[in-house]
Structure 1
Amino acid sequence: MDAENRYQYLERLEQIRGSKVLVYFAYTPLDDSILVPLYKQLKAIGHTPKIDLFLHSYGGAVDTPYKLVMLIREFCEEFGVIVPLAAKSAASMVVLGADEVVMGPVSELGPIDPLVKHPVYRDVWVPVQAIRYTLEYFQRTIADSPDPELATFIINPVLNKLDPWLIGDYEKSLKASHQYAEALLSRYMLKDSPLQVSAVTHALTEGYFSHGYPIGRREAKELGLKITEADGELWEVIWSLYLGYEELLNQRDLE
């Protein structure tokens, strides 16, 4: 699919949705590097009644989604997120700051488990929950061992390699993700259902053990999120756009 075809699909999506559509499609972690280009694009568009973000991302930094939502909302009255395939982890946080999320039969959200850069391997991103589960695993191993002293002897060399300041930073990231989720839900997605905010926040930040757990549109709706189910022409346009951007990124990787 060439640029002209993608533009035609984008134009049709805007007609169907009655919105201005922005696209974020990436396989690299979502971080603050998106903010300046996004601001430039929003300034070029100007204030508009409704903005949709066509979002495909597997997550990223803990603070970026909140900044992204606040920036977009400076330029519109109504904000929607369109998920063609995956808006996982930190990208799911962006969804919580929308008024609605548009999902098709293969669309997925995920537990909010932001990524942090590995302290040694700088190109490696680690789910912050992984650190907590590691410590909890060691604690259970020692407590359940028939010889706790031997278990402690074996585990201590590993624990000694963990920087306590780093562990504290990871713990702060977990608390921050909870705080951001609660703030976005209460201000936007669930502003009319304040009694649901706490339960939905807990479910998304602590209720799933797999970083990649797929939350489809039915489960998302059961959680209490405002889901618009994409079917018919709307879904055909969304899926065609997804395939077009996937093809574009694959071509760039081969160059």
Structure 2
Amino acid sequence: MNVEDRVYLLERLEQLRKSKVLVYFSYSTLDDSILVPLYRQLKEIGPTPKIDLILHSYGGTVDTPYKVVMLIREFCQEFSIIVPYVAKSAASMMVLGADEVVMGPLSELGPIDPLVKHPVYKDILVPVQAVWHCFDYLQRSITTSSDPEIASFMATPMLNKLDPWLIGDYEKTIKASRQYAEILMTNYMFKNSPERVETVVRALTEGYYSHGYPIGHREAKELGLNVLSAQGELLDVIWNLYQIYAELFKEK
């Protein structure tokens, strides 16, 4: 499909949703580099009753989702996120700051598990829970081993490579992800049922062992999220837009 097809589908989506539509489609880490381009687009649109964000992201840093949500909400009264396929980890946290999430049969949210620097290889980003489970494994290996001295001897070289300040930063990241999730849900996604916030925060930050666990539209509803299951023309338009953007990234 060409540019005209993409523009037509975006305009049709705006008609169907009675909104202004923004798109964030990326395979790169979600971080603060999104903020200035997003602000430019929002200024161009100006204040508007409703904004929909088409979101495709595998996640990123812990602070960015909150900043994105609060920036968009400066320009609208109602904010929804459309997930054609994947909005994982930090991108799932962004969903918690919407009034509604639009999902289809292939749409996936995921556990809230932000990325942090690898404790040894600084250029590599890893899910913070993976690091923390490593610490937990080492601790259990030492305390439950039939010969704790041997287990400690094996674990000590790895532990010696870890910067204690970095470990503290991991702990802060976990606490920050919980704090942001609580604030966003209380003020937006769960504003009508605040009593469920604590349970859902615990589920999203501690309840799933796989970083890539797929939370589909049915499970998202069971958690209590305000999910619109896209059907008919709405689903077709959303999916066609996803395919166009996916093809654009293949060409780069």
Which TM bucket (shorter chain)?
A: over 0.9
Q: 2-side partners of 1:72 and 1:131: how far apart? A: 32
SS of 1:72 mapped into structure 2: helix
Letter in structure 1 aligned against 2:126? V
How far is 1:143 from its partner? 1.5
RMSD in angstroms over aligned alpha carbons?
0.9
> Residue 45 of structure 2 corresponds to which residue in structure 1?
45
Aligned residues of 1:93 and 1:181 also touching (Cα < 8 A): yes
Aligned residues of 2:21 and 2:53 also touching (Cα < 8 A): yes
Instruction: List aligned pairs for 1:35-114, cutoff 5 A.
Output: 35-114=35-114
> Residue 171 of structure 1 corresponds to which residue in structure 2?
171
> Residue 236 of structure 1 corresponds to which residue in structure 2?
236
Letter in structure 2 aligned against 1:25? F
SS of 2:21 mapped into structure 1: strand
Aligned residues of 2:61 and 2:114 also touching (Cα < 8 A): yes
Structure 1 gaps of 5+ residues are: none
How far is 1:122 from its partner? 4.6
How far is 1:120 from its partner? 5.4
> Residue 212 of structure 2 corresponds to which residue in structure 1?
212
Q: 1-side partners of 2:119 and 2:128: how far apart? A: 12
- Post-superposition Cα deviations, 1:100-148, rounded to whole Å, max 9, x if no partner, equal 0000000000000001233654542111111110110001111221101
> Residue 200 of structure 1 corresponds to which residue in structure 2?
200
SS of 2:81 mapped into structure 1: strand
Letter in structure 1 aligned against 2:20? K
Structure 2 gaps of 5+ residues are: none
How far is 1:2 from its partner? 1.4
Instruction: List aligned pairs for 1:183-198, cutoff 5 A.
Output: 183-198=183-198
- Post-superposition Cα deviations, 1:177-217, rounded to whole Å, max 9, x if no partner, equal 00000000000000000100110111111111110000000
Q: 2-side partners of 1:133 and 1:46: how far apart? A: 45
Letter in structure 1 aligned against 2:217? R
Aligned residues of 1:131 and 1:167 also touching (Cα < 8 A): no
Aligned residue-pair number: 252
Q: 2-side partners of 1:91 and 1:186: how far apart? A: 18
Cα 1:244–1:123, aligned 2, differ >3 Å: closer, same or farther?
Answer: farther
Identity of aligned residues (%): 70
With normalisation by structure 1, the TM-score equals 0.97
